[in-house]
């Protein structure tokens, strides 16, 4: 079963929601009702270069004309919404803006390199749509999201919580003949913006006044309510697997409900939340009786040894060492559960 990082839905991700709804709706409208208007949204670099149709750099790089690209990019944006929750809508928008502008320059350079090296004209065949920033988001996804093994396949090959996202990216990468140009320029732009090459973050960013205006005007439209529960039950192949999955779901719901009860006391205590007091190690809960709803009591277990590598990976994501240690102990060294909870709260 594939696991995702963060809660489901688009809570605290209004920009991601707008990128899902508006371009997708326009793409469907152009494909089904207004096919004669698609010519205005073709990403034609040769027309930009020879006829100075600069507007194509904007119209041709927002709306996908291929519905397969629309579907794949929408799924990827939905999975990458965790970065908007993590860094805020303004920083997330700044990253998208920076990678979008830098990738336009990269498209020009790569198209010219292909022409001079192989004599192939790719300027009129580039795919349209908001694709380069989507590929750019794979850079922070690779660097900051922990890789958690889900299942083994053959020897060293394994399925992780990130496998499905990479498969979607590969599907998008192979959806057209020259989409690799957009993908490479997007990845390079993501690396440049993440590394702040030539201080590009000080040049390409969303101004604070514009972020406040968009928050005032657009956030009420695209905001989503907080999910009441994480009702995700996996479809196991056997009854035992399904029972275990339901047990994990109940554990997670218990964690969230207990956290909500003591969250108001955190400021009064003036210290770090006692994770072990709130969330006893999940893997040591046994003898669960689902028929009458009663759980057996378990004696307190000694503190668990925590892997420093897992602590370091959580600290790289911006969490304090104390929170990382307590979260890993509370989840019995389950990095996915610990990361999931820390990102939600």
Q: Higher confidence at residue 293 or residue 318?
A: 318
pLDDT at residue 166 in the model: 94
Using CA atoms, how far apart are residues 288 and 256, in angstroms rounded to an integer?
A: 19
Q: Which CATH number fits domain 307-344: 1.10.3720.10, 3.30.2130.10, 1.10.8.10, 2.120.10.30?
A: 1.10.8.10
Looking at the predicted structure, is the pLDDT value of residue 290 above 60?
A: no
Domain residue extents for the chain:
14-150+160-223, 307-344
Q: Where is pLDDT greater, at 258 or 173?
A: 173
- Would you place residue 207 in the very low, low, confident or very high pLDDT band (cuts 50, 70, 90)? very high
Mean pLDDT for the chain overall: 79
Q: How would residue 292 be classed by pLDDT, with cut points 50, 70 and 90? A: very low
Structural class in CATH, domain 14-150+160-223? mainly alpha
Higher-confidence residue of 292 and 193: namely 193
For the segment 95-129, what is each residue's pLDDT rounded down to a tens digit? Answer: 999 999 999 999 999 999 999 998 888 878 899 99
Q: What is the pLDDT of residue 242?
A: 55
Residue 324 pLDDT: 81
12-25, pLDDT tens digit by residue?
889 999 999 999 99
Our CA angle for 101, 103, 105, nearest 5°, is: 80
Query: What pLDDT score was predicted for residue 180?
Result: 94
231 three-class SS: coil
Model pLDDT, residue 284? 43
Tens-place pLDDT, residues 298-340: 455 555 677 787 887 777 776 778 888 888 877 777 777 777 7
What pLDDT sits at residue 285? 43
Q: Could you read off the pLDDT of 165-206 as tens digits, one per residue?
A: 999 999 999 988 899 999 999 999 999 999 999 899 999 999
pTM reported for the whole predicted model: 0.68
Specify the pLDDT at position 1: 34
- Where are the alpha helices (H) located in the chain, listed in sequence order? 14-32, 45-50, 56-59, 67-79, 81-87, 89-118, 132-136, 138-144, 163-173, 179-195, 208-217, 219-222, 239-262, 266-269, 275-278, 308-316, 321-330, 335-344
């Amino acid at each position: 079963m594939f696991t995702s990082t963060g809660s489901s839905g688009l809570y605290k991700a209004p920009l991601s929601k707008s990128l899902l709804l508006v371009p997708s709706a326009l793409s469907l409208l152009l494909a089904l009702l207004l096919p004669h208007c698609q010519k205005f949204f073709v990403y034609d670099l040769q027309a930009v270069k020879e006829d100075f149709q600069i507007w194509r750099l904007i119209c041709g790089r927002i709306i996908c004309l291929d519905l397969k690209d629309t579907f794949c990019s929408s799924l990827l944006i939905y999975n990458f919404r965790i970065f908007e929750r993590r860094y805020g809508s303004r920083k997330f928008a700044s990253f998208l803006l920076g990678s979008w502008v830098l990738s336009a320059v990269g498209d020009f350079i790569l198209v010219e390199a292909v022409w001079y090296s192989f004599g192939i004209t790719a300027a009129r065949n580039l795919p349209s749509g908001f694709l380069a920033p989507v590929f750019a988001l794979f850079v922070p996804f690779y660097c900051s999201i922990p890789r958690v093994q889900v299942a083994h396949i053959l020897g060293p090959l394994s399925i992780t919580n990130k496998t499905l996202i990479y498969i979607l990216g590969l599907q998008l990468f192979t959806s057209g003949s020259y989409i690799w140009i957009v993908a490479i320029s997007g990845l390079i732009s993501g690396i440049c913006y993440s590394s702040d090459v030539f201080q590009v973050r000080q040049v390409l960013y969303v101004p604070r006044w514009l972020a406040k205006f968009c928050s005032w005007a657009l956030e009420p439209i695209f905001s989503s309510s907080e999910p009441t529960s994480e009702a995700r039950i996996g479809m196991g192949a056997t009854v035992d697997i399904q029972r275990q999955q339901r047990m994990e779901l109940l554990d997670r719901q218990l964690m969230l409900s207990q956290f909500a009860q003591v969250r108001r006391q955190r400021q009064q205590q003036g210290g770090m939340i006692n994770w072990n007091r709130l969330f006893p190690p999940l893997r040591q809960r046994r003898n669960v009786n689902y028929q009458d709803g009663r759980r057996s009591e378990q004696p307190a277990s000694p503190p668990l040894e925590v892997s420093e590598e897992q602590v370091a990976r959580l600290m790289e994501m911006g969490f304090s060492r104390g929170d990382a240690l307590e979260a890993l102990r509370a989840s019995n060294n389950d990095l996915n559960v610990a990361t999931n909870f820390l990102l939600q709260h």
